[in-house]
Structure 1
Amino acid sequence: MIIILAAAPLLTVSASELPDQADEAVIGIRVAPPFVIEEEDGTYSGLTIALWEHIADQMGTDFRYTKHDIQGLLDGAADGSLYASASALTITSEREESVDFTHPFFVTGLGIAVSYQPTGAWQSFLAIFSFDFLWVLLLLFLLLLFWGFLVWIFERKENTEEFGGSAAEGVGSGFWWAAVTMTTVGYGDKSPRTLGGRIIGFIWMFTGIVVISFFTASIASSLTVTQLDTRVSGSDDLPFVRVGALQQSATMDYLDTERIRANSYETVEAGLRAVEENEIDAFVHDAPIIQYFTQLDFRNSVRVLPNTFNDQYYGIAMPLGAEYRNDMNRIILDYIASEEWEELRNRYLGD
């Protein structure tokens, strides 16, 4: 975009700093909703657009927008053909070598988009009979049988009223006692009377607390994993699955640093569509951006995992040594502390 140099007291930019000595300042943008949104009539909106237009208004300047890819935004700011690049540009040490950034106006993190098939009540009920769930039930059954057998060993002769009969009947009574003791129901119909039996009972009471906690956690984990139906639960899983990221992005640089192989995509929509069509297992990008596209076009096929990682700081890029950088920083710091900015965040990103 191009900014007209008015007699604004805050801005001290020489004519040589403007691209082509023009009356307007050229502002590079890249469509990246909800930060830069291209409307049907060709105008632009979004959180970054609102911020930049506030800056331009405060500095009394005029401008025009031009669209670029990420590399174009950085190259244009570096060679001075762009007065500034305003989009969802992540501040990195490598980029700081060729351009200057303003103070961060937004802090987020990387998010992971994965395949998602929503389940109804009937599917959730069937998930109870997953292999993992049945395996936990079997382990619990064997554990109760083991402690029931131990208490029967001590009680079978001196407590025949409660643990007598055949071996099967005695062990069955022990199994029942172990179950009601573990669940703290404690009907009182069966209880050990011998010293050995009471020691077994004492140990099992405390062991049962741990068993109940483990059993509950295992069941919850089994049901959750079954319903999500995804191989990815966090960033630690990325080295072992098929990953995608936006080309030329800071995300791709991060994945390269972490030695995580990733397919590159020209747009966020293309990456999310690859997840939807099972071409990749996870698409990694800035969390608010993939959340926006997921809610817009992929609500029933792709979901974004709740946790973020590798903090991302967004700033506006400009040529190295630009004299107007300090003025822009002051305006940004005042604006992002205002109620108006909070309302804009809620409008474009939600509460």
Structure 2
Amino acid sequence: MARPVKPTSRLFFPLTLFFLLTQCFWTLPAAAAPAVKPTVLVGTYDCPPFVIKHPDGTFSGLSIFLWEQVAKEMGIQYEIQEYELKTLLDKIADKEINFGVSCLSITPERELRFDFSHSFYETHLAIAVKQKNYLSAVTGLLTNKQLLSVLGFIFIAASLVGMVYYLLEHRVNDKLYSMPSRRAKLIEGFILGLLFITKGPFNYFEFKTLTGRVITVILAIATTLFIASITALLASTFTLGLLSSEIKGPNDLANIPVGAKTASTSSTYLSNRGIVHRLYRDNRQLLEALELQDVDAVVADNAVLMYLVKKAKENGEFQQLTVLPYPFEKQNYGFAIEDKSPYTESLNRALLKVRRTPVWRQALHEYFAEK
């Protein structure tokens, strides 16, 4: 005989089913809602071509492009705020912002205050000067010690060669000398020596004496090397005379007015070497000071100087400014990170991944390829 079912047992299954359906109903919206990405604060400053500020307040540039790709890879949201360089470094050190994105050089002094990502670009410091006008250039060439030394050496060498041939050939070789007087023959001997030094030896058979012919063979070898060396030296001297007078590197900056940007690695470099210099708020003021000849030279990162001067000339500005071909003091750019940041490892992994992509190589070409 079947056992009677209690009323509470009849209600158990429907109540359990109702409870489970209710739980699913309340948990489904939470599971379907997308996870909220964290928002980090990013500080930057205008530093073309790495950070370019537009009139509407937005930013572009190589560093901004790289950060956008890295942030996408990391899955984080961000807010960009602009600061001057010194303020930016202080805020990262005080953990008021999470990242610094611009043309920030990785240095031991900065590493003591906050962290850096892996390097993403390598450059050097460089010197920019204002080219001389034609009159100043000619005056500079005429008083250039290196040029005068070269010309003096050529004069002495030509005189010696001409004297040797005169002693060997003037009695037996009338073909070399058109005038009978001794003074005329000495002058023609000097011209002969000058031609040897600047052009190379004459035909072997034009000389009558055996000694003269042997010397001709020796000079044929020696003058080939001499002419090549002198040509290169003179070309360098003329180029430098037109560009920068006597500035060839940082050692030549000690006794002239020099400019650098406030809180920059170029300013630190000059200070460490005891070179007194004037400080300017940004690169625009730096180049304007050079254009107005408030300073005779400015020091900044080579990539930045090359880009700024090139773009200025395209816009009809700073036509006489030039960057000297003497880069020094290697610089590596990285993203600044607040000390002990939880994002350091993920940032470096994303940075390494993005730098291997074709879009990064294309970006480098876009900003730095000659057009």
**Bucket of the pairwise TM-score, normalised by the shorter protein:** 0.7 to 0.9
Q: 2:138 and 2:245 mapped to 1: Cα distance?
A: 17
Deviations 1:122-155 (A, max 9, x none): x8x9799845568755653453333222322233
Look up the match of 1:20.
none
Look up the match of 2:246.
231
Q: Give the unaligned 5+ runs of structure 1.
A: 1-5, 12-22
Q: 1:46 and 1:335 mapped to 2: Cα distance?
A: 16
Look up the match of 1:295.
310
- Aligned partner of 1:344: which letter? A
Deviations 1:14-34 (A, max 9, x none): xxxxxxxxx632211111111
Deviations 1:289-310 (A, max 9, x none): 1222212224512111233211
Q: Structure 1 pair 277/151, CA: closer, same or farther in 2 (3 Å)?
A: same
Q: Structure 2 length as normaliser, TM-score?
A: 0.77
Look up the match of 2:270.
255
- Aligned partner of 1:155: which letter? E
Q: Describe the SS at the equivalent of 1:217.
A: helix
Give the alignment partner of residue 186 of structure 1, picking from 202, 221, 232: 202
Is residue 155 of structure 1 aligned with residue 159 of structure 2?
no
Deviations 1:222-266 (A, max 9, x none): 321332253323333223432111011121111111222211111
**Mean CA deviation greater in 221-230 or 76-85:** 221-230
2:160 touches 2:193 (CA, 8 Å); kept in 1?
no
Look up the match of 2:42.
27
Q: Structure 1 pair 91/165, CA: closer, same or farther in 2 (3 Å)?
A: same
Q: Give the unaligned 5+ runs of structure 2.
A: 1-33
Look up the match of 2:235.
220
Q: Structure 1 pair 326/304, CA: closer, same or farther in 2 (3 Å)?
A: same
Following superposition, the deviation at residue 214 of structure 1 comes to 4.6
2:50 touches 2:63 (CA, 8 Å); kept in 1?
yes
Q: 1:200 and 1:128 mapped to 2: Cα distance?
A: 38
Is residue 42 of structure 1 aligned with residue 42 of structure 2?
no
Following superposition, the deviation at residue 117 of structure 1 comes to 4.9
RMSD of the TM alignment (CA)? 3.2
Look up the match of 2:130.
115
Q: Describe the SS at the equivalent of 1:94.
A: helix
Look up the match of 1:322.
341
Q: Structure 1 pair 114/177, CA: closer, same or farther in 2 (3 Å)?
A: closer
Runs of 4+ in 1 over 6 A off after TM superposition: 125-129
Following superposition, the deviation at residue 330 of structure 1 comes to 0.2
Following superposition, the deviation at residue 177 of structure 1 comes to 4.2
Q: Structure 1 pair 160/113, CA: closer, same or farther in 2 (3 Å)?
A: closer
Q: Structure 1 pair 55/217, CA: closer, same or farther in 2 (3 Å)?
A: closer
How is 1:27-106 mapped onto 2 (pairs within 5 angstroms)?
27-106=42-121
Q: 1:190 and 1:88 mapped to 2: Cα distance?
A: 66
- Aligned partner of 2:339: which letter? L
Q: Structure 1 pair 216/127, CA: closer, same or farther in 2 (3 Å)?
A: farther
Following superposition, the deviation at residue 78 of structure 1 comes to 2.0
Deviations 1:59-89 (A, max 9, x none): 2222211111222222222222112111111
Q: Structure 1 pair 314/186, CA: closer, same or farther in 2 (3 Å)?
A: same
Deviations 1:195-219 (A, max 9, x none): 5545654555455345424542343
2:204 touches 2:217 (CA, 8 Å); kept in 1?
no
Q: 1:57 and 1:330 mapped to 2: Cα distance?
A: 12
Look up the match of 1:347.
366
The structure with the larger Rg is 2
Look up the match of 1:143.
157
Q: Describe the SS at the equivalent of 2:254.
A: helix
1:127 touches 1:227 (CA, 8 Å); kept in 2?
no
How much identity, in percent, do the aligned residues show? 29
Q: 1:240 and 1:312 mapped to 2: Cα distance?
A: 25
Q: Structure 1 pair 241/62, CA: closer, same or farther in 2 (3 Å)?
A: same
Following superposition, the deviation at residue 325 of structure 1 comes to 0.5
Q: 2:195 and 2:131 mapped to 1: Cα distance?
A: 40
Q: 1:305 and 1:293 mapped to 2: Cα distance?
A: 14
Look up the match of 2:330.
311
Q: 1:313 and 1:322 mapped to 2: Cα distance?
A: 21
Q: Structure 1 length as normaliser, TM-score?
A: 0.81
Q: Structure 1 pair 300/149, CA: closer, same or farther in 2 (3 Å)?
A: same
**Mean CA deviation greater in 197-206 or 335-344:** 197-206
Q: Structure 1 pair 159/47, CA: closer, same or farther in 2 (3 Å)?
A: closer
Q: Describe the SS at the equivalent of 2:129.
A: strand
